[in-house]
Amino acid sequence: MMQEKLVRISGFAMSRPVAVIFALIYVFQSATIFYLLTEKYESDKLIRFQQSRIEQLEEKLKILNVIQDFQMGMRPSEIGRLANVVYEESEKYGYDPLLLLALINVESSFRKGQVSHMGAMGLMQMKPSVGSAVADRSGIDWYNRSMLFNPEYNVRLGSRYLFELVLKFGDVKAAITAYNIGETRLRNIQRLKKDPPKIYLAKVMKKYRELKDKYDI
């Protein structure tokens, strides 16, 4: 009788049919483990995505609540669109949206048609000359100064301008001060090693803390 040929696998000698069975079991187990790991990865990925969506909706709802509580003269559709813009701009430039909302509150009290005695317009009180320059540098359409009365457009320009100031001064608080008194004036104050005005910054930070206490829960 012909002796059955042996196959050596991992130090063990076994017949070829048995070796084939072991190989098939190994392949099946490997495929099962791969499938389970893939399923777990996809499941974890879906959970992370859903959690991210929940966090986004919670953040947008918080912004919406602030605007609804403080706005004057806005239609419901404008409030919703503005909430989205505040969220998007805050994400884009790394702001806490409540800080941006505090700045808007101090600048205009959320009156979209506000005009200052210096000619600054809209929610973030942009001067037309500044708004036009920011729009040109940023590739944002600019037709005329009346666009600054559009809440969404105004906040996009104002957020961009504040970001430019953060980059120039390397500090958010200095940028907020420059937003109020102007970049050139703050540069001159710094060059003379004097202290910049603190009243405006204090107002913004006070309103920011109030918003944090009330809405950031």
Q: What digits encode the pLDDT tens for the residues 119-153? A: 999 999 999 999 999 999 999 999 999 999 999 99
- Predicted pLDDT at 83: 96
Contact present, 140 and 156 (Cβ < 8 Å):
yes
Question: pLDDT: is 54 or 20 the higher one?
Answer: 54
Angle at 195 between CA 190 and CA 196, to 5 degrees: 80
Its pTM surpasses 0.85 = no
- Predicted pLDDT at 3: 47
- Predicted pLDDT at 2: 44
Judge whether residue 178 has pLDDT over 80. Answer: yes
Question: pLDDT: is 39 or 120 the higher one?
Answer: 120
Judge whether residue 65 has pLDDT over 90. Answer: yes
Q: What digits encode the pLDDT tens for the residues 156-165? A: 999 999 999 9
For tokens 């906040």, name the residue: 155
Domains and CATH numbers, the chain: 6-215 (1.10.530.10)
45 burial type by CB count under 10 A (0-12 exposed, 13-18 middle, 19+ buried) = exposed
Judge whether residue 196 has pLDDT over 90. Answer: yes
Distance CA 150, CA 126 (A): 12
Judge whether residue 10 has pLDDT over 80. Answer: no
Question: In terms of DSSP H, where are the helices of the chain?
Answer: 16-70, 76-93, 97-108, 128-138, 151-169, 172-181, 183-191, 199-215
